[in-house]
Structure 1
């Protein structure tokens, strides 16, 4: 496993050790599943946030102010 597609993403967590890492499955450009190393804080965030961020991304172009 290597960090070839690594992008920095600053996160702050008071329940995770910043050195703790886990592996997750990602789809690469050839549509193959591969294991990549990921900080445990990011892994848990992606696991438990479900569709909240996707909803925010979809709704962001729409102005809801009065």
Structure 2
């Protein structure tokens, strides 16, 4: 697995876990996994997981 693919997968798994467990904002979460922009993080998360971070959090909590 290429290093950048591994890094993306690792960041997205950390983000998914945080979205399920934490109450931090998506912007704070984006910064915590290495993104400087909430928009860039949201786009990357949606590409990797298939759903936007806020929708993922809503689905995980219901």
Aligning the two structures, in what range does the TM-score lie when normalised by the shorter sequence?
A: under 0.3
Pick the structure with more strand per residue.
1
For normalisation by structure 2, the TM-score amounts to: 0.23
Higher relative contact order (CA 8 A, sep 6+): 2
Q: Give the greater-gyration-radius structure (CA).
A: 1
TM-score for the superposition, normalised by structure 1: 0.22
